[in-house]
Amino acid sequence: MKRDNCFDFLRFALALNVVLGHLTIIANIPELQQFHFAFRTHWSVTGFFVISGFLIAQSYERSSIRSYFIKRAKRLLPAYLFVVFACALGLVALSTYSVADYYGSPDFWKYLGANICFLNFLHPSLPGVFELPIITENSVNPSLWTIKIEVGFYLIIPLLMIGLRKCKRPWLALLIIYVLAVVYRTGLNYYGDLTQTNMPIFLARQLPGFMSYFAVGMFGYMYKDLFLKYKSYLIVPALILFAVEYYIGLEILTPLAWGIVMLWCAYSLPALNNFAKYGDISYGIYIYHGPLLKILLSVGLFTAIPVWQASVLYVACVLVVGLASWHLLENRFLKR
């Protein structure tokens, strides 16, 4: 049955933007870095959170509590654990350490422990891996920091939905969540800039700060009919608001504006509603592309052939890996 939305296409487009954005950031190549302005990964990450707010609220209400958590685990864990273990075990081939020193290093076990628990930020790197000047930083997988935020949202959504359904005015509760999240994020960022310390800025990038985006997605789900009725009147003001706040460097009403844009696109591009009929590869390309890029940089692909050819080859490899992951791993677990 054909879907009434194109969330699958949107997730693919957002994931591809992250792929290209990281290509312009991670590869220390001037020809690529000049295009960083066109591929802001923050837009993709926050767009994912809006879509998650909508789809996860919907998933919860269509499931029992047990089946909800089983479905979330089956969708998230197989590919995530595979990429963590594959990198930990396989990247010894690129390490400056000997095999014995690599597997015997405390850093190896710290990486495994932290990443299995979704705490990538505690230990994002492996011993002796990706320590080359051509790579701007040595974390193994720069995308995994968002997964703990998704997991946190998955865990609290049952409580949120139960509470919202008991409220006489769910929209007011979502508005309060939105405002508190904006205050949390803005306040910590301001304090971090004021004191020139990193910890407040790091804390601002955690789940409470992004709840404004999730809340907009949840509102879209709970008031879907109302949104669809007025979406044609909302899109232009939303785009203007998004552009204005981006220009002046604010992120107060941006979650609302960006959420409207995401939901408008999801229900206004019917030709793309069946985009993922051959495979939902957005999650795969999102979590595999970072290590793959760093591997190709480490083995010298971007110096062996022209940069643009190497870039096209890299994106093609990401798509193939994502497709293989869907058919050989992710979809098999979902069908069980």
Do the domain assignments include residue 34? yes
Per-residue pLDDT at 33 exceeds 90:
no
Do the domain assignments include residue 313? yes
Residue range 107-124, pLDDT digits in tens: 999 999 999 999 999 999
Distances (CA, A) of 228 to 2, 51, 156, 333, 335: 18, 16, 27, 34, 32
Do the domain assignments include residue 32? yes
Against a cut of 0.85, is the pTM above it? yes
Single-letter amino acid, residue 7: F
Do the domain assignments include residue 298? yes
Residue range 34-85, pLDDT digits in tens: 888 889 999 999 999 999 999 999 999 999 999 999 999 999 999 999 999 9
Single-letter amino acid, residue 261: V
Number of domains in the chain: 1
Distance of CA 273 to the CA centre of its chain: 21
CB 313 within 8 A of CB 300: no
Its domain, for residue 57, covers: 7-335
Per-residue pLDDT at 97 exceeds 90:
yes
Count of alpha carbons within 13 Å of 55, Cβ hemisphere only? 19
Q: Return the pLDDT at 1.
A: 55
Q: How confident is the model at residue 136 (pLDDT cuts 50, 70, 90)?
A: low
CB 34 within 8 A of CB 242: no
More confident residue, 43 or 33: 43
Q: Please, which residues bridge with residue 27 across strands?
A: 135
Do the domain assignments include residue 236? yes
Question: What share of the chain has pLDDT > 90, as a percent?
Answer: 88
Q: Please, which residues bridge with residue 305 across strands?
A: none
Q: How far apart are CA 263 and CA 184, in angstroms?
A: 25
Do the domain assignments include residue 220? yes
Count of alpha carbons within 13 Å of 132, Cβ hemisphere only? 18
Residue range 248-268, pLDDT digits in tens: 999 999 999 999 999 999 999
Per-residue pLDDT at 196 exceeds 70:
yes
> Which of 82-96, 107-121, 123-137, 297-311 comes out lowest in average pLDDT?
123-137
Do the domain assignments include residue 1? no
Q: Return the pLDDT at 134.
A: 62
CB 83 within 8 A of CB 291: yes
Other residues' Cβ atoms within 10 Å of the Cβ of residue 78: 17
Q: How far apart are CA 322 and CA 269, in angstroms?
A: 24
Q: Return the pLDDT at 273.
A: 94
Single-letter amino acid, residue 117: C
Residue range 142-155, pLDDT digits in tens: 999 999 999 999 99
What mean pLDDT, rounded, does the chain reach?
94
Q: How confident is the model at residue 295 (pLDDT cuts 50, 70, 90)?
A: very high
Q: Please, which residues bridge with residue 201 across strands?
A: none
CB 185 within 8 A of CB 251: yes
The predicted model gives 19-48 an average pLDDT of: 91
Structural tokens at position 335: 């069908």
Do the domain assignments include residue 295? yes
